[in-house]
Structure 1
Amino acid sequence: MNKSWNVCFCTAAFVAASLSASSAFAGPLVNQLGYYPDAEKTVVFPGNDANGLEVRDLKGKTVLKLKAPLVYDWDYSGEEVQTFDISAVKAPGTYRLFRGGEYVGTPIVVGKNVYGDLVKASLKWFYYQRSSMALEPQYAGKWARAAGHKDDHVIVYGSDKATGGKGAGKTIKSQRGWYDAGDYGKYIVNSGITVFTLLEIYEHFPKYVDSLKWNIPREFPKYPELLEEVRYNLDWMLTMQDKDGGVYHKVSTLKFGGSVLPENDIAPRYAIIKNVTASLDFAAVMAQASVVYRNIDKAYADKMLKAAESAYAWAKKNPEAFYKQPDDVQTGSYMPGDENGKDEFRWAAAELFRAKVAAGAKADKATAAYQEDLKANAFTPDGAWWGNVNMLAAFRVALDSANFDAELVAAAKKVVLNEANNLRAVGDTSAYRLPAFPWSWNWGSNSAMANNGIVLVHAYLLTKDKSYLDGAQQCLDYLLGKNPQDITYVTGFGYRSPHNPHHRPSESDMVDDPVPGMLVGGPHLGKQDINLDGKENWKCPNYAAADKPALAYIDNRCSYATNEVAINWNAPLAYLAAALEAIYLGIPK
């Protein structure tokens, strides 16, 4: 679809940027999909209007009347805003908001299953990201496409003359897997946290997940559909392990390809550099998956556990073998500048100890060694994102008190609950009620908001304290419309949503609508894609002129910094929406 490089989706951000902080704003900012009856429900009005708020049903009956609240400044957008709490509205139905006797905004829905379609679409998107296979119309609809990247002759980097080797190039078969983001690379590090998050949905809410259907091809009909989809990527990850146990970092071309369909991206692909980070992320995920799949496919679970142990052993032998991006490789590096491997060792050790216990291993030295490694590598108050997976280890240990040492469990719970308490304190005092730290406003800020919500859900699962669930709700509300852009950040959902994501299949498939269920990266002030010097006309216009992070977004395919999509962003969206659905529906584990 030849989406224009210069078409800008005009959102409330541009309106807000042009208004003074004291100007009244015509419409409220709300969760455009709706709320569960018992959920916390807040509505934000930019401005300082003295009028109160009336909530009326569709028959015109006033069901709630509130006085004007205090006016708060929100530094992230430079706005004055007023936030109304309408949580008292619990009866299922559709409601309208009135101020000064006039109807404002869009209808608000209260009811059950308000996020069900979102959960299924956000999970089905992984099918649309499949490499090495054609997407058939009966499953993909109008987004059907031919197969791309068979990856049956992937060159091991450095073994061919093009990358400094002497020979024709050693090759491996590295088929299946998901395209990572808007590009066609496949990356172990980002797959790690993505698969963890998706498997966490199943571990925490299995009966809810078992009830979901979203129409994907079935190779393993005894699997729940979520585990069918995840296996497609696990199978690829297994191909990335070398005979010595080490795991290659990624499969990609040497440079990003153009905006073409997968079948037309035909440059040579490479398996690039074994390293400790990829090996440990692989070990953690394979160990976790061996637990999840054990009751439905023991042989596959045993295979993954063996692979996990081998990868961990390789990392122990090569603790300083960190990934360094070669000069001739320009695809994603997925390596933070401060990498020391401690968080990956922490996560892998936690998952392997649990997996060995789940597999019936005796309490021998080999099994105990994983827990001893964990004891010697204390939890830190960091994460979770692909660059720091400490919190994933804390989640595992905190919620698995039956298997781990009591002191470890106490330390993990402290880390999770301290982070959740800090987030909730910010949310309770924020103009938008958003539990977000200053460092949440970075590349992929929307995933940071979703991951903040996941921390709060884990705190709820540990304590059953509803205030944590309320905080998680506010994170989802932000993603679904209660933000200065006045849009949902998910394609195909809500009254207003992105239409021009930075996503090569969407840019080249001749279909006007993007695939539904994609969470775009979100606003921040990195400005990596802005044409600041005027010399590169392919870059974006300056959408961040206001220098306010919550306003720095543009719905344009040029914006890889704010409007790209990625598997590690969709996974926490799916978890957050699924958690609220399952918990509020009262579906037991």
Structure 2
Amino acid sequence: MNTFKSVFGMCVAVPAAISLLAVSAGAAPLMNQLGFAPDAEKTVVFPGNDANGLEVRDLSGKTVLKLKAPDVYEWDYSGEEVQTFDISAVKKPGTYRLFRGGEYVGTPMVVAKNVYDDLVKASLKWFYYQRSSMALEPQYAGKWARAAGHKDDKVIVYGTDKATGGKGKGTAIKSQRGWYDAGDYGKYIVNSGITVFTLLEIYEHFPKYADSLHWNIPREFPKYPELLEEVRYNLDWMLTMQDKDGGVYHKVSTLKFSGSVLPENDVAQRYAIIKNVTATLDFAAVMAQASVVYAGIDKAYADKMLKAAEKAYAWAKKNPEAFYKQPYDVQTGSYAPGDENGKDEFRWAAAELFRATKKKEYQEDLKANAFTANGAWWGDVNMLAAFRVALDSADFEKELVDAAKKVVMNEANNLRAVGDTSAYRLPAFPWSWNWGSNSAMANNGMVLVHAYLLTGDKSYLDGAQQCLDYLLGKNPHDITYVTGFGYRSPRNPHHRPSESDMVDDPVPGMLVGGPHLGKQDINLDGKESWKCPNYAASDKPALAYIDNRCSYATNEVAINWNAPLAYLAAALEAIYNK
């Protein structure tokens, strides 16, 4: 709800249930703390109901823009009264200051080319810091260097050893390389799937920009662009997870989460846990996509991945009801939504395999499995299939292309309508405020970028900018949600390496999960002292966040959260700096 009142007139339709925050007239502005490209939309939010207008001055004191006070809106997600100024008319590169009532407020605002370049590189380099099975050396990792952990050269297949219900010592596989999934040390196929897709989308959509990026990682394949080198480190691990029959194990992890220790000190036995249809199809989709992307630089590797993808899809067709069920003695992440039916995974895999092979059977499967309106997250990959068909329309029959474009554009139009009328100018649905809400905002931005790529309509790019603005400071906490960036950023992420490395600064470039009202980590009953204090007392989702290591619900990091952040920032960089 976004009811408003004029700062000079009477209230209009303000519901009694809204509890407004008391904010002084001199409140600091909330804005993207990294700045804006010259031609980007630029909005600034002021909490409160100040009758003063806004002046934007350059560093010489010259006024370059003068605006009257806008209407006051109320944002349900925070309970605030706010005013939003559109200062997009400021296009000349430079550093600017904001004034209200003749007083300087807030922090400087930057307008420049390549303003997100360092953010893109840091958000991508973070995947190097998440590498399993190798030491991070000082020349690449700096003060975050660490010893190797989780060599994973003897991972036990779950259920084959006595500890997990088997009769023998256990069947072992090698499952080396790959990225740690989040704040823990597990490696998960389902979450790797959407993550790798998103990173490869950067390369598919913006290859020239992606080729220009360098961020100091060890080079094993010097002819690869660095982005594809990093992604290969995880693809190599994913390939180890495929059994001889084509099925793919769900994850590699210990039976229980470790404590806050460095990787080298987490020495409990690790398991490859349960082949299933969703992991197998996510694997098939990503391997098919990667086979297309890598074909021009490493045909042998591309062929290997495509063969693995087709074998996985065949296994899934034979085992369509083999859904993952978390064993009673396994307490690491399940990555298994309760309403799983596999249709979205079949849809995505079929789309990617048809593009890679042009084999009719995959398109026929896709035609028999209609797109839904669902947005993208690890538990529903329908939108990934729609992205593929809509943007690679030459490969698919017209009826599929039309259906895919309709799904993407309907979602984008709904997001744009919300963003254009929201007090914070944020394209967010009520269901965006969930575990990993910041990734939902980034994924919403991805939808809007795809709509822009389909239409060339800049209003969709403006919506994507709104999503990034929120993540980089235009939010009620007045912080960037990315470690190491902006004037204020998280210092205490829920991330085992950061918790145990004795380095005050967290690794830069990590997107934390963000606010929501799940309260999974709050000490509600007082019986578990290690849980967080009640940081969500207001019951407003946009306020329910705490920068504390205890908060795995709001301050953890994850590969599938960083990937859409990298895509969103890279897209804006590439498009505005052609």
Shorter-normalised TM range: over 0.9
Hey, what does 1:516 align to over in structure 2? 508
Q: TM-score, normalised by structure 2?
A: 0.96
Superposed structure 1 runs of 4+ greater than 4 Å apart: none
Give the counterpart letter for 2:124 in structure 1.
Answer: L
Within 5 A, what are the aligned runs for 1:239-254?
Answer: 239-254=240-255
In the alignment, does 2:67 pair up with 1:66? yes
Residue 86 and residue 290 in structure 1: after superposition, are their counterparts in 2 closer, same or farther (change >3 A)? same
The Cα of 1:18 is off from its aligned counterpart by: 11
Contact 2:20-2:79 at 8 Å conserved across structures: no
Give the counterpart letter for 1:86 in structure 2.
Answer: I
Q: Secondary structure at the match of 2:39?
A: coil
Q: Secondary structure at the match of 2:95?
A: strand
Aligned length: 561
Hey, what does 1:236 align to over in structure 2? 237
Hey, what does 2:308 align to over in structure 1? 307
Q: Secondary structure at the match of 2:450?
A: helix
State, as a whole percentage, how many aligned pairs show the same letter.
91
Deviations 1:74-105 (A, max 9, x none): 00000000000000000000000000000000
The Cα of 1:401 is off from its aligned counterpart by: 1.1
Give the counterpart letter for 1:455 in structure 2.
Answer: V
Contact 2:21-2:79 at 8 Å conserved across structures: no
Q: Matches of 1:437 and 1:415 in 2, distance apart?
A: 16
Deviations 1:217-246 (A, max 9, x none): 001000000000000000000000000000
Q: Matches of 1:77 and 1:25 in 2, distance apart?
A: 19
Give the counterpart letter for 1:434 in structure 2.
Answer: L
2:557 to 536, 560, 565: 565
Q: Secondary structure at the match of 1:50?
A: coil
Deviations 1:355-393 (A, max 9, x none): 113xxxxxxxxx100000000000001020000000000
Hey, what does 2:5 align to over in structure 1? none
Q: Secondary structure at the match of 1:402?
A: helix
Within 5 A, what are the aligned runs for 1:4-23?
Answer: 20-21=21-22, 23=24
Contact 2:512-2:555 at 8 Å conserved across structures: yes
In the alignment, does 2:164 pair up with 1:172? no
The Cα of 1:24 is off from its aligned counterpart by: 2.9
Contact 2:19-2:79 at 8 Å conserved across structures: no
Q: Secondary structure at the match of 1:452?
A: helix
Hey, what does 1:466 align to over in structure 2? 458
Show structure 1 runs of 5+ residues with no match: 1-16, 358-366
Deviations 1:183-225 (A, max 9, x none): 0000000000000000000000001010110000001000000
Hey, what does 2:330 align to over in structure 1? 329
Within 5 A, what are the aligned runs for 1:379-394?
Answer: 379-394=371-386
Deviations 1:15-37 (A, max 9, x none): xx998346435200000000001
Give the counterpart letter for 1:153 in structure 2.
Answer: K
Give the counterpart letter for 2:100 in structure 1.
Answer: R
Give the counterpart letter for 2:354 in structure 1.
Answer: F
Q: Secondary structure at the match of 1:82?
A: strand
Contact 1:21-1:78 at 8 Å conserved across structures: no
Contact 2:55-2:65 at 8 Å conserved across structures: yes
Hey, what does 2:11 align to over in structure 1? none
The Cα of 1:265 is off from its aligned counterpart by: 0.1
Q: Matches of 2:124 and 2:419 in 1, distance apart?
A: 28
Deviations 1:139-162 (A, max 9, x none): 000000000000000000000000
Hey, what does 1:79 align to over in structure 2? 80
Q: Matches of 2:399 and 2:46 in 1, distance apart?
A: 46
Q: Matches of 2:510 and 2:170 in 1, distance apart?
A: 37
Hey, what does 1:184 align to over in structure 2? 185
Hey, what does 2:14 align to over in structure 1? none
Hey, what does 1:43 align to over in structure 2? 44
Q: Matches of 2:257 and 2:23 in 1, distance apart?
A: 45
Q: Matches of 1:309 and 1:481 in 2, distance apart?
A: 44
Show structure 2 runs of 5+ residues with no match: 1-17
2:497 to 505, 530, 534: 505
Give the counterpart letter for 2:371 in structure 1.
Answer: F
Within 5 A, what are the aligned runs for 1:82-231?
Answer: 82-231=83-232
Q: Matches of 1:324 and 1:454 in 2, distance apart?
A: 31
Give the counterpart letter for 2:392 in structure 1.
Answer: D
Higher relative contact order (CA 8 A, sep 6+): 1
Contact 1:213-1:225 at 8 Å conserved across structures: yes
Q: Secondary structure at the match of 2:83?
A: strand
Hey, what does 2:429 align to over in structure 1? 437
Please give the root-mean-square deviation of Cα atoms over the aligned residues, in Å: 1.0
Residue 18 and residue 149 in structure 1: after superposition, are their counterparts in 2 closer, same or farther (change >3 A)? farther
Contact 1:201-1:575 at 8 Å conserved across structures: yes
Q: Matches of 1:22 and 1:515 in 2, distance apart?
A: 34
Q: TM-score, normalised by structure 1?
A: 0.95
Deviations 1:328-369 (A, max 9, x none): 000000011110000000000000000113xxxxxxxxx100
